[in-house]
Amino acid sequence: MKKTSLKQIAEIAQVSVATVSYALNDSSQVGEVTKAKIKKIAADLNYVPNLSAQNLRTNDSNIVCAVVNTYQGNFNGDVIQEIQDIFAQKKYQLLAVSGSIPNFVKTDMVDGLIVLNYRSDEAELRRIAYDLHKPTIFMTNEIAAKKTANVIINNELGIKYLFETLSKSVHRNICIITGDNNSYNSQQRLKAARKYYKKFYKHDDFDSHVYSGDFDPNTTYQLGRHFLEQNTYNAYLCFNDDMALGIYHAASSLNKTVGEDLSVVGFDDSYVSSVVSPGLTTIKVNKKTWAEEVVDQYFKIKSNSNYPETIELIPELILRDSVKLK
Amino acid sequence: MKKTSLKQIAEIAQVSVATVSYALNDSSQVGEVTKAKIKKIAADLNYVPNLSAQNLRTNDSNIVCAVVNTYQGNFNGDVIQEIQDIFAQKKYQLLAVSGSIPNFVKTDMVDGLIVLNYRSDEAELRRIAYDLHKPTIFMTNEIAAKKTANVIINNELGIKYLFETLSKSVHRNICIITGDNNSYNSQQRLKAARKYYKKFYKHDDFDSHVYSGDFDPNTTYQLGRHFLEQNTYNAYLCFNDDMALGIYHAASSLNKTVGEDLSVVGFDDSYVSSVVSPGLTTIKVNKKTWAEEVVDQYFKIKSNSNYPETIELIPELILRDSVKLK
DNA sequence: AGCCTGTGCACCGTGAAAGCG
DNA sequence: CCGCTTTCACGGTGCACAGGC
């Protein structure tokens, strides 16, 4: 009924607890015969080592924790899954938590931390990175601390591509729809958009073209309906694909055709952007590469280096038919 | 540098370790003055209790683990998020893991288990449920064991609704596309489809209308293109929404119009099904209700009852324009 | 002596029971 | 009875060492 412990196995096998521990850890300190006997008993009793005890003793858990703002949407889930797959190959267990960084990260239950799209004041992140002396990777923040690396998207380049595309579009009356204002990526994209708007449009009215869409397709559906009815804008730069879909929805509800009557571009290349009609022009970051880089940095930090490092991923433009080119 | 422990606090406060422990747990065993002093020191030193030690001692962690097959797609993420939100309100920490059920679930690090879309032979699940003496909820399986509940979708009803809808459609040449064959929901839906196909179509050729789509839109895109070119089928019943989108994609690539030239129905009411054009007729299970029921059962089991229980959620038909009715 | 196999014990941080002035 | 301390166990690890050949 109760969990089997080393002690019980030791009693049955008529050896000491230490011997059982050695045997199950395949230490050479135990003879083959005894080892086999002990292992058999352990298997029979369905023995599972108590991780709490193990961690308490060893301070090393092979457990890595990933923090996301939410499991919802087409982005976070994909990215965590990629990371999970790589860690699994290396016999590491990835745990995901959503919301705030839980206390157990600060204890010895977890070996390291991966932060994706955490939305909070950077001060807290900074504090955590600073006094958490474990490998920590930020994927959507830039925070310099020991044992910390940042593996982030080069958002400026992505925005540049999108502006270039839209500048070749027949539709030029541009509307920029941002995501959650607390999101690092949204902030970076906004900053880059400001820069390239000026460069491409030579106007100072950037702010009047910007709307907050909160990464939510329903919000952009409402916005889109309004603007399309009034003919305010005919080109939409959305900071993620989901919001772009909201514009699609608005367009079709008003019998307008994306790629004909209006242009739409998105961000992230989520799977829907290829499935939807017309295909959505979007910015892609290879999630597998991203995940590999994250895990790579993780083990680099773990093994020795602890200097802060920042790695930028170069995004790629995926051209589809949501933009009618001149 | 190193984590502060009760011991260090005790030394500074010039009291025993036990007193510190009592003080921080607000026990009445300690005088107010000492308590305040100790708390201040703990705060200053940034004390965080070591969960491994706590669990080892108390066998109770306030951590619940959710297992999913993958974080990807529009379904699992939504559901986990709902569950997470409810647990968070109750000061429980939900951890998510993807892949197989990790060892730490079997140790005392985790209080209970929630299994969603785990794909494996049921034998393993049964074994786990049987000798894991913690609250366990299966959301996509029916497994009877102590301290175990099943909170599942009534798939038969959902399939029935979809057949009723398609039987009123102008398109009647029906193609049934299943998901992953290891998925419980896919299996249940297939079983129900077999039943209702016979009822509505009075034919014995069910199996020749069934194709495996693996829950993947690209697979159904290929299937859809093939069938639509050959005019094999003009009504598609997909076991989830993503696959239905693949049919949408195939249709538009062949200049056919969903809801006009063909009918499509899906399952799950993921957010895309309302955003896409035409809207996708689909089966909805209220995820919030589902999550509430799961958490409810969790605490019921935890507090006392340990008899197996099965709760079925009644799904709802969401009618949109992907089916042209007579 | 040296190798092989196995044991005793201190220790991680916590919390509960019992003890004590 | 209050306020605090001592002691112990939770489960597992690995060092230092013991005893036999």
Chain A 20-49 residues whose Cβ is under 7 Å from strand D: 21-22, 24-25, 29, 47, 49
pLDDT for position B159: 97
How does DSSP classify residue B207?
G
| Residue, of B60 and A82, whose pLDDT is higher | A82
| pLDDT of A312 over the 70 cut | yes
pLDDT tens digits along B21-59? 888 887 777 777 888 888 888 888 888 888 888 888 887
Interface test with B, best of A52, A98, A101 (most B CBs within 10 A): A52
Helix B155-167 with B184-201: angle, nearest 10 deg: 40
Any idea what the Cα angle at residue A248 is, between residues A242 and A251, rounded to 5°?
A: 150
User: B63 and A99 in contact by Cβ < 8 A?
Assistant: no
- Please give the Cα distance from B213 to B230 (Å, whole number): 19
Mean pLDDT lowest among A78-92, A296-310, B134-148, B216-230: A296-310
User: B98 and A84 in contact by Cβ < 8 A?
Assistant: yes
Nearest to A221 by CA among B197, B275, B171, B143: B275
In Å, what is the separation between the CA of B326 and the C1' of C8?
85
pLDDT for position B306: 62
User: Who among A96, A271, A277 is closest to B71 (CB)?
Assistant: A96
pLDDT for position B2: 62
**Where does the pLDDT of residue B199 fall: very low under 50, low under 70, confident under 90, or very high at 90 and above?**
very high
| Residue, of A284 and A104, whose pLDDT is higher | A284
> Which chain A residues contact residue B113 at CB under 8 A?
none
Q: What percent of chain A has pLDDT over 90?
A: 59
**Where does the pLDDT of residue B113 fall: very low under 50, low under 70, confident under 90, or very high at 90 and above?**
very high
| pLDDT of B177 over the 70 cut | yes
Nearest to B116 by CA among B104, B103, B105, B125: B125
Tell me the mean pLDDT in the region A249-278: 94
Residues 6+ apart with CB under 8 A from A199: A163
Nearest to A223 by CA among B137, B81, A232: A232
The Cα-based distances of B287 to B2, B151, B301, B314 in angstroms read 43, 12, 21, 11
Strand D contact with B56 (CB < 7 A): yes
- Please give the Cα distance from A52 to A35 (Å, whole number): 24
**Where does the pLDDT of residue A1 fall: very low under 50, low under 70, confident under 90, or very high at 90 and above?**
low
| pLDDT of A306 over the 70 cut | no
**Where does the pLDDT of residue B304 fall: very low under 50, low under 70, confident under 90, or very high at 90 and above?**
confident
pLDDT for position A302: 85
| pLDDT of B170 over the 80 cut | yes
Residue B13: nearest nucleotide (C-alpha to C1'):
D4
pTM of the shown model: 0.89
Closest Cα in chain A, distance from residue B13 (Å): 22
SS3 A234: coil
| pLDDT of A262 over the 90 cut | yes
| pLDDT of B1 over the 70 cut | no
- Please give the Cα distance from B295 to B149 (Å, whole number): 11
> Which chain B residues contact residue A81 at CB under 8 A?
70-72, 98
Bases in strand D with any atom closer than 7 Å to a protein CB: 2-16
Q: Work out the burial of residue B207: count CB atoms within 10 Å of its CB; fewer than 13 is exposed, 13-18 middle, 19 or more buried.
A: exposed
* Highest mean pLDDT, choosing among A103-107, A128-132, B42-46: B42-46
pLDDT for position A2: 64
| pLDDT of A219 over the 60 cut | yes
Mean pLDDT lowest among A40-49, A131-140, A235-244, B100-109: B100-109
Q: What percent of chain B has pLDDT over 90?
A: 58
Tokens of B34: 């000492």
| pLDDT of B132 over the 90 cut | no
Tokens of B83: 């569950």
Find residue A68's DSSP bridge partners.
A98, A116
Q: Work out the burial of residue A166: count CB atoms within 10 Å of its CB; fewer than 13 is exposed, 13-18 middle, 19 or more buried.
A: buried
How does DSSP classify residue B5?
-
Please, what is the average pLDDT of chain B? 90
For chain B, which domains are there?
6-49 (no CATH), 61-153+287-314 (3.40.50.2300), 155-284 (3.40.50.2300)
Strand D contact with B9 (CB < 7 A): no
Could you tell me which chain A residue has the CA closest to the CA of B252?
Answer: A277
Interface test with B, best of A84, A133, A275, A306 (most B CBs within 10 A): A275
Chain B 184-243 residues whose Cβ is under 7 Å from strand C: none
Phi, psi (rounded to 5 degrees) for B282: -155, 170
Contact A113, A135 (CB under 8 A): yes
> Which chain A residues contact residue B1 at CB under 8 A?
133
In Å, what is the separation between the CA of A53 and the C1' of C20?
33
pLDDT tens digits along B223-260? 999 999 999 999 999 999 999 999 999 999 999 999 99
Find residue A148's DSSP bridge partners.
A136
How does DSSP classify residue A321?
T
- The distance of Cα A203 from the centroid of its chain, to the nearest Å, equals 35
| pLDDT of A162 over the 70 cut | yes
Q: How many CB atoms lie within 10 A of CB B215?
A: 27
User: B277 and A71 in contact by Cβ < 8 A?
Assistant: no
Residue A25: nearest nucleotide (C-alpha to C1'):
D13
Any idea what the Cα angle at residue B287 is, between residues B168 and A219, rounded to 5°?
A: 85
Locate all alpha helices (DSSP H) within chain B, ordered by sequence. Answer: 6-13, 17-24, 32-44, 51-58, 76-89, 103-106, 122-131, 155-167, 184-201, 217-230, 241-253, 272-275, 287-303
Nearest to A225 by CA among B282, B6, B266, B275: B275
Residues 6+ apart with CB under 8 A from A283: A158, A161, A162, A266, A267, A268, A269, A315, A316, A317, A318
How does DSSP classify residue A214?
T
pLDDT for position B39: 86
Q: How many CB atoms lie within 10 A of CB B24?
A: 17
Q: How would you classify the pairing of strands B309-313 and B148-153?
A: parallel
pLDDT tens digits along B262-284? 999 999 999 899 999 899 999 99
Tokens of A4: 């089997």
Strand D contact with B16 (CB < 7 A): yes
Element (H, E) at B177: strand B174-178
